[in-house]
Amino acid sequence: MITTKKQAEDLIYRSYMLVGKRLDYNAPDSEKRHPEYTRSIIRRLDRRCGVPNILVTGSKGKGSVSVMTDNILRAHGKSTGLMTSPHFFEFNERIRLNGEPIPDEALIKYCEKIAPTLELIDMTIAEREYISPIAAQVLVALLHFYGKTDCNIFECGKGVMYDDVNNLSREYSIINKIFLEHTRELGPTIKDIANDKSHIIINGQKCAYSAQQSREVSEIIEQRAFDCGVHLKTYGSDFYAENIRLSDTGTNFDVHTKNFGCQNIHLPLLGAHQAENFALALAVCEDILGSIDSEKLRYAAENTVWRGRLEIISHSPLTVIDCCINRESAFRVKEVLKLIPHKKLNVVLAVPADKDYRGVAEEISEIADKIIFTALENTHYRFEKAQAKCTKDGIFEADINTAVKTAKKDADMVCVLGTAAMGKEITNIEQ
């Protein structure tokens, strides 16, 4: 019997946690993930919902594009369901109905509903196999969205081929920029990763949309679209953003498709890539809606909140936070920060020891005056004082509260980088 939120969350992670240390974490997704176990039940609920799905993948910016797509559709009067991960504060954020996180009572009710099915599947699978937490999350989302939405948006996880989200039908799919990441799970080369994520395109869907990609990635996506008989729209050809300007309040830009243009859009997020993300979201929304209202589009942009993605959380001094745990993401952060006028930049790193903290530190050290390594209270993550030795003059503070206070003492700009779990703690500091 599930009667509390904790019990609901425990159910979602139950199968994965049961495997525990028996799981080979170094194995590729093709060996350790089994979306086939939940395929029939997900597809049954999906058919029952009977509304168009939009699936989103990529190596970075999946969540931003998902939220922007959701905002544009809702600004034009559509009822939407949105599923993203990870969460920044509370698990409920992962499942949203018309912008609102799923209430505790609904999460509990739907977890109680799916519990017998998940437990039955668990009894029939091999000792080292498990039901992905994402599968349970998709089931809860579908039950929550049923009968209440015109369109549902689902963000895929690391990949697509072995992600339970891939069990869903889709009329539209979005592929944000792909780069070399999650090589352990998806494969050692950029072609392996692109091939995995290109499977978001399937036979029978209406259209696919791609961000600007490297040539080898574009070729794989284009071939997949051709093989599936799906029309592919691409950034720079079918839609684009231009005249991009950054300030301490966000990003302003113009956006265009072949049939529509809108000037001076403002996003309260930092980075040229966010303008590109918005153009990607606009492209799919234009096809769904048929036409776009400029004022509604501006409203959707102005009210886009995506926590922890180059988010400005304070102006005294200017303090920016980003969920950045690898070198590629750190490069993007670095390029954005270079465009913001400042005299001294101090950086706080709350990147766990098993993530690419060295890559983040080396990349950001090119512009940082001081780097302060720190730890979180969250016991699910491991931090080590020795991490600070990876950069010259790196220092370590035992808690993020002290680290941020130290960073603010002598800088006019502070950037906090790390795992999404820092969201609750850094926000508490700012309140």
C-alpha dihedral (35, 40, 42, 44), degrees to nearest 10:
170
Length of the chain: 431
Instruction: State which of 302, 332, 354 marks the end of a domain.
Output: 302
Q: What pairs with residue 416 in β-bridges?
A: 321, 348
**Do β-strands 100-101 and 239-247 pair in parallel, antiparallel, or remain unpaired?**
unpaired
How is residue 156 annotated by DSSP?
A: -
Q: Please indicate, yes or no, whether residues 373 and 269 belong to a single structural domain of this protein.
A: no
Element (H, E) at 258: none
As to burial, measured by CB atoms within 10 angstroms (0-12 exposed, 13-18 middle, 19+ buried), residue 430 is exposed
Token output for 165: 């989200």
Edge to edge, what strands does the sheet with 239-247 contain? 239-247, 250-257, 261-267
pLDDT attached to residue 181: 82
CB 421, CB 87: distance < 8 Å: no
Q: Please indicate, yes or no, whether residues 127 and 67 belong to a single structural domain of this protein.
A: yes
**Taking Cα atoms as reference points, which of 71, 63, 150, 139 lies closest to residue 107?**
139
**Rounded Cα distance, 390 and 291, in Å:** 52
CB 400, CB 376: distance < 8 Å: yes
Q: Please indicate, yes or no, whether residues 171 and 271 belong to a single structural domain of this protein.
A: yes
**Rounded Cα distance, 239 and 276, in Å:** 9
CB 372, CB 346: distance < 8 Å: yes
Residue 85 makes CB contacts below 8 A (sequence gap 6+) with 63, 94, 134, 137, 155, 157
Q: Please indicate, yes or no, whether residues 291 and 403 belong to a single structural domain of this protein.
A: no
CATH no. for residue 99? 3.40.1190.10
pLDDT attached to residue 427: 61
- DSSP state letters, 171-237: SEEEE----S--HHHH-SSHHHHHHHHHTT--TT-SEEEE----HHHHHHHHHHHHHHT-EEEEBTT
**Rounded Cα distance, 163 and 185, in Å:** 11
**Do β-strands 311-315 and 318-322 pair in parallel, antiparallel, or remain unpaired?**
antiparallel
How is residue 103 annotated by DSSP?
A: P
> pTM above 0.85?
yes
Q: Please indicate, yes or no, whether residues 363 and 419 belong to a single structural domain of this protein.
A: yes
C-beta neighbour count of 182 within 10 angstroms: 16
Q: Please indicate, yes or no, whether residues 195 and 333 belong to a single structural domain of this protein.
A: no
Q: What pairs with residue 389 in β-bridges?
A: none
Alpha-carbon distances, residue 37 vs 41, 44, 57, 130, 367 (angstroms): 9, 13, 22, 9, 48
Q: Please indicate, yes or no, whether residues 180 and 132 belong to a single structural domain of this protein.
A: yes
373: helix, coil or strand? strand
Q: Please indicate, yes or no, whether residues 71 and 177 belong to a single structural domain of this protein.
A: yes
96: helix, coil or strand? strand
**Average pLDDT of each block of 10 consecutive residues along the chain (431 residues)?**
94 89 82 94 96 95 95 98 90 96 98 96 88 96 98 96 97 95 88 97 98 97 98 98 90 97 94 95 98 98 89 87 88 90 95 90 96 88 91 91 93 93 70 46
**Rounded Cα distance, 101 and 81, in Å:** 10
**Taking Cα atoms as reference points, which of 70, 207, 223 lies closest to residue 149?**
70
Domain count, the chain: 2
Question: In this predicted model, what pLDDT tens digit does every residue of 22-68 receive, in sequence order?
Answer: 888 778 898 889 999 999 999 999 999 999 999 999 998 899 999 99
216: helix, coil or strand? helix
Token output for 394: 């790196």
pLDDT attached to residue 89: 81
pLDDT attached to residue 431: 46
**Rounded Cα distance, 415 and 407, in Å:** 9
Can you say how many angstroms the Cα of residue 171 is from the centroid of all Cα atoms in its chain? 20
Question: What's the one-letter identity of residue 91?
Answer: F
Instruction: State which of 285, 302, 319 marks the end of a domain.
Output: 302
Q: Please indicate, yes or no, whether residues 149 and 269 belong to a single structural domain of this protein.
A: yes
As to burial, measured by CB atoms within 10 angstroms (0-12 exposed, 13-18 middle, 19+ buried), residue 386 is exposed
User: Which residue range is the domain that position 403 belongs to?
Assistant: 311-430
Q: Please indicate, yes or no, whether residues 97 and 213 belong to a single structural domain of this protein.
A: yes
pLDDT attached to residue 207: 98
CATH no. for residue 413? 3.90.190.20
How is residue 36 annotated by DSSP?
A: G
Instruction: State which of 248, 267, 302 marks the end of a domain.
Output: 302
**Taking Cα atoms as reference points, which of 354, 347, 367 lies closest to residue 408?**
347
Q: Please indicate, yes or no, whether residues 201 and 248 belong to a single structural domain of this protein.
A: yes
Q: Please indicate, yes or no, whether residues 293 and 328 belong to a single structural domain of this protein.
A: no
